[in-house]
Chains A and B, each alone.
Chain A
Amino acid sequence: MLFNSLNFALFVPIVFFLYWFATKGNIKLQNVLLLVSSYFFYACWDYRFLFLLIFSTFLDYYTGLKIYNAPGKKNRLFWLWLSIIVNLGFLGFFKYYNFFSASFAEALSNVGIRVNPWTLRVILPVGISFYTFHGLSYIIDIYKNRIQPEKNFIIYSVFVSFFPLLVAGPIERATHLLPQIQQKRTFEYTKAADGLRQILWGLFKKIVIADSCAQFADTIFNNYPAFNGSTLILGAFFFAIQIYCDFSGYSDIAIGTARLFGIELLRNFAFPYFSRDIAEFWRRWHISLSSWFRDYLYIPLGGSKGGTWMKIRNTLIIFLVSGFWHGANWTFIIWGLLNALYIMPSIIFNTNRNNLDIVAQGKIFPSLKELISVVITFCLTTFAWIFFRADSLTAAFRYVKKIFSSSTFKLPNMSAFSGDPSVYFVLLLVMLFMIVEWLGRERQYAIAKIGHWSPVAARWSVYFTLVGVIYYFTFSGRGHLFIYFQF
Chain B
Amino acid sequence: MTEKICPVCNRPNISTAKRCWYCQSLLEDEQAEPGMTAEDLAGKEAEVTGSNEVPEWLARVRQRKAIEEMQQTRSLSPESLPPAEESGGQSGNQPDNQEKASREPEKAEASQLPEWLQGLGTPPPSEGVTKSLQMESTPEPENFSWLEKLKSWKARDEEDADTGSEQSEPPAPQPPAAQPTVEGSNEEWLAEFLTPAEESREETPSSDLETRVETPAMPAEIAEEKSLQPGSEKGPEDETYDFSGEEHPPLEEGHPVVTQFLDAEFSGSGSLPQPELPSVPTEEPSDILKEVAPTDNADLDWLTHYQEPEAEEPEEKALPSASQAGTTQPSAPFLGVQPSDWGESIPEPDIEPDFEAPEEEVEPAVLPAWMQGLRPIETKPQPSSVPSEETVREGPLAGIEGALVGANLGAAFEKPAMYTNKVQVTDRQSLRAELLQNLLSEPGEAKNAEEPRRPVRGKWLKRVMSLVMLVIVFAVLILAPGTSLLPVLFPPETANAYRLVNELSSDRPVLIAADFEAGLSGEMGFAAQSMLEHLMLRNIPLAVLSTNSVGSTLMDQMLANSQGLVSSYDASTRVVNFGYLAGASIGMQSLTSDLRTALPYDRNLVQAWTHPVVQNVYSLVDLGALVVVTDDADTGRYWIEQVQPALNGVPLILVTSAQAAPMLQPYYASGQVSAVVSGISGGSAYEQMMKLPGNSSYFFGAYQVLVLAVAALFLVGGLISLVKPAERGSKG
Task: Determine if chain A interacts with chain B.
Answer: no
Q: Which residues of A contact B (CB under 8 A)?
A: none
**Footprint of A on B, CB under 8 Å?**
none
